Chain A
C-alpha cells in the first residue's frame, strides 16, 4: 500500500473516533480541557504506535507467529498493558497534575478498542513498517478528533483554551462582547454527550453534502 495513503487514512477516511466510533469512553471523559486531550493523545500515541510495531514484529516472525497465533489476544493484551503501565509510571513521575486529572482513564487505555482493534485488524497482517505508519496515522487522527471536541467544549464552557498548564488562551472577551456568560454545562458530563453528538452530526452533514455533489458531478 502507498505509505502516504496508509498514513492519511487514519486521519480522515478511517478516523478511529469520528468514523469508526472506537474509543468513545476516554474521548467523552477527558475532553473537558485541551490540556487533558493533549495528555491523552500523548498516552495513546505512545501505546498505539509501539503496540502496532511490537505486535507486527511478533506476528511477522517466522518462528514466533505459529506459537502466538492460537493465543494472540492474550498476547496483545499483555503487550498493550505493559506499554500502558510505562505511560502510567512516567506520567505519575513527571506530570503529576495531568496524571491526577486523567485519573482512571490512563490505565483504561488498555481496553481502548482502537488499540486492540488496530492490533487485530492491521498489525497482525502487515509488515512492521506499514504497521508503524498506520499506528502513527491512527493515533494522530484520534488525537485531532479529541482535540476538536475539547476545544469546542472548553471554549463554550469556560471561555478559555488551555494548551499546557499556564499557557492559556483567554477568549472570555468574546462572551463579554456578546454580554453572555460561558455555558458551564459544556464542561460538565452533559456537555460531553451534547458536543460529541453535535460534532458528529456536523461531520455527517458535511460528508453527505460532499458525496452528493460528487455524485452530481459524475
Chain B
C-alpha cells in the first residue's frame, strides 16, 4: 500500500509528466489557450492513456514476452495506440454523443501525443506489476490534467498582459512553464 501511495504521489507531482519528464509538450502548448479545451484534452488523455497502457501492458506480458520478441515493442505499441484511439472515437460516437462532443476533437491529436506512448513504455521499463501500472497511469494522467489546467488559467490572463514583443506567444508561455517547473521541482523534497 505504501508503495502504491509512493507511486501515485511521485507520478502526480514529483515526476510530473509535463514539467519534469517533458512528455506531451505539444498539447501542453497547443491546446492550453482556454480552460475548457485544456480540461477536454486532459480528460481525453487520461481516458486513452488508461486504456492503451492496460492493453499494451497485457500484450507485452502475455504475447511479446512469451514469444521473446520484446524488440517489437515500439511497433506493436504505436499500432495498438493508433487503432485504439480510432476505436474509442467510433465507440464514443455511437454510445455517448455528449462525451464524444466533449472529447472528440482531441482524440485524433492524441495518436501523436508522446505522453500516451511514453507512459506505455515507461510502465514496461519501470517493471510495474498490473496494479502499479494502473495507479501510475491514472496519476500520471491526473498530473497532466492538473498542470494543463493551471497553465491554461495563467495563459488566459497572459493574453491581456503587456508582454515584450519578442516574447509574445510561445516564448512567454515557455517562461511561465519554467516558473511552474520550479514550483514542482521543490515538491521533490517531501519524500
A, B in one complex: yes
Query: Residue B73 at the A interface, CB < 8 A?
Result: yes
Residues of B within 8 A of A197 (CB): 167, 170-175, 177-178
Using A24-B29, A193-B175 as known contacts, say yes or no to A104 and B125 having CB atoms under 8 A apart: yes
Residues of B within 8 A of A108 (CB): 23, 114, 117-118, 121
Query: Residue B92 at the A interface, CB < 8 A?
Result: no
A29 to B20, CA, bound (A): 9
Query: Residue A101 at the B interface, CB < 8 A?
Result: no
Using A85-B75, A111-B114 as known contacts, say yes or no to A196 and B174 having CB atoms under 8 A apart: yes
Residues of B within 8 A of A21 (CB): 29, 170
Closest Cβ–Cβ distance, residue A51 to chain B (whole Å): 13
Closest Cβ–Cβ distance, residue B151 to chain A (whole Å): 11
A82 to B75, CA, bound (A): 7
Q: Mark B6-49, 1 if CB is under 8 A from A, else 0.
A: 00000000000001111111100100000000000000000000
Closest Cβ–Cβ distance, residue B24 to chain A (whole Å): 7
Query: Residue A67 at the B interface, CB < 8 A?
Result: no
Q: Chain B interface secondary structure, helix, strand, loop or mixed?
A: helix
Closest Cβ–Cβ distance, residue A194 to chain B (whole Å): 4
Total number of A residues with any Cβ neighbor in B under 8 Å: 41
| B72, B166, B170, B177 interface centre (most CB from chain A within 10 Å) | B166
Q: Mark A117-156, 1 if CB is under 8 A from B, else 0.
A: 0000000000000000000000000000000000000000
Q: Are B114 and A204 in contact (CB under 8 A)?
A: no
Closest Cβ–Cβ distance, residue A189 to chain B (whole Å): 5
| B22, B122, B165 interface centre (most CB from chain A within 10 Å) | B22
Query: Residue B160 at the A interface, CB < 8 A?
Result: no
A118 to B161, CA, bound (A): 36
Interface residues of B in 35-79 (CB under 8 A from A): 71-75, 77-79
Query: Residue A169 at the B interface, CB < 8 A?
Result: no
Contact of B166 among A25, A116, A208 (CB under 8 A): A208
Residues of A within 8 A of B24 (CB): 25
Q: Are B79 and A81 in contact (CB under 8 A)?
A: yes
Using A198-B171, A208-B165 as known contacts, say yes or no to A28 and B74 having CB atoms under 8 A apart: no
Using A111-B113, A116-B112 as known contacts, say yes or no to A104 and B174 having CB atoms under 8 A apart: no
Q: Are B171 and A201 in contact (CB under 8 A)?
A: yes
Residues of A within 8 A of B71 (CB): 85, 88-89
Q: Mark B143-159, 1 if CB is under 8 A from A, else 0.
A: 00000000000000000
Q: Are B167 and A113 in contact (CB under 8 A)?
A: no
A108 to B25, CA, bound (A): 13
Residues of B within 8 A of A70 (CB): none
Interface residues of A in 1-28 (CB under 8 A from B): 21, 24-26, 28
Closest residue of chain A to B166, judged by CB? A205
Q: Are A110 and B22 in contact (CB under 8 A)?
A: no
Residue contacts A-B, CB under 8 angstroms, 5 given: A103-B125, A104-B125, A111-B114, A197-B167, A201-B171
A-side residues, CB < 8 A to B, are 21, 24-26, 28-29, 73-74, 77-78, 81-82, 84-85, 88-89, 103-104, 107-108, 110-113, 116, 188-194, 196-198, 200-202, 204-205, 208
